[in-house]
Structure 1
Amino acid sequence: MEQVAVLAVAAQLDRNYIREKTLEGQQVGAAKGNQGGRPKVIDDDSLTFALALQAKGDPVPEITQKLIIKEGKNAGKHPSVASVYRALAEAEEATAATQATDDLPQRPTPVRLHRPDEPLKAEEIGLRERLVVQRAVLDAEEVAPVISGPHRFKGGAPQFGAEEPGLPCSFGPGPTGLGYSGAKPSR
């Protein structure tokens, strides 16, 4: 039984050694510029040409027939339609990602809070005035739809929806004289 444990430990050490040497080789290759893996079928020149053809309106199967693989075991052949679709999708995602980072707002500058007894600077007074004006405009926009909504004035009291189809109630002096007439609320 002890012999099996010793062999298991030796096998584990061997696996760790192989793993370390593999990672070391990948790092040396990356330093030299080798990224490893399967080479791309559609290089940057072919992708630029494919994007231009797509912008012109050519369908992807026709674009595929106009492209030629430059290196690898399939050199001189046309790439598959799936490869062209994949390359076009990756290019679209890359442009969308760069545009998304360009559209992000800049980080706001930190604001120093003042104590009530500290005087404000001129720029802070201007900022406060602009904020007060913006708040007044927002408050006016919230109140405006209520005032200019669909209502009718009859007998001095507003009647909301009295003549509108599908609106069952109206406010104001109604047949009951209590100021409300219409459908009863359902529970």
Structure 2
Amino acid sequence: MGKRVSFSAHEDRARGTEPDLADLLRQVAAGDEAAFARVYDRVAGAVLGLAVRMLRDRAQAEEVAQEVLVEVWRHATRYSPERGNALAWVMTIAHRRAIDRLRSWHAAGDREERAGRLEPRRPFDEVAESTLTSLERERVRGCLAALTELQRESIVLAYYNGYTYDEVAHVLRTPTGTVKTRIRDGLIRLRDCMGVAQ
């Protein structure tokens, strides 16, 4: 790739002039692949160690470490010695990436937990269901589909799954007052849609 390198790592060691990490990052910023290999050798263990400590999962930590080192390669120009030492800069990137991965895990876990709460808590009443004709079920489905998403979800949770207003609000991450209003408005729209007399 035509990158210019002053000395090889072997020559530097022989001369006793091993460059410091900041110098290597400056070379990486200029596109020096050999300098990046040396940065990698110096920081990869520390980056992986931090990721393992934070994530407690070796495979995830290895992925994060790889992301960190790619970021160092791509954004070495962002390093400024005036802001701190080079290793601290790299480890800050590593810490940020590990935190991002943890947040991603927690967000996925929260979504799964909320979805689990949407499962019916009351046993399915087969006798009641059998009394509905196919036409009535289709009408109910059609009328429910005409509601807003929040109205539909609120009504299903409250009337089909037996959730309280507060529980519906918690699952949908919506204020209880808003849930009550959406359920009331949704029931009015359902009644009108179904042609039920007041």
TM-score strictly above 0.5: no
Which is richer in strand? 1
Q: TM-score, normalised to structure 2's length?
A: 0.23
Which is richer in helix? 2
Which of these two proteins has the greater Rg computed from alpha carbons?
1
More RCO (CA 8 Å, sep 6+): 2
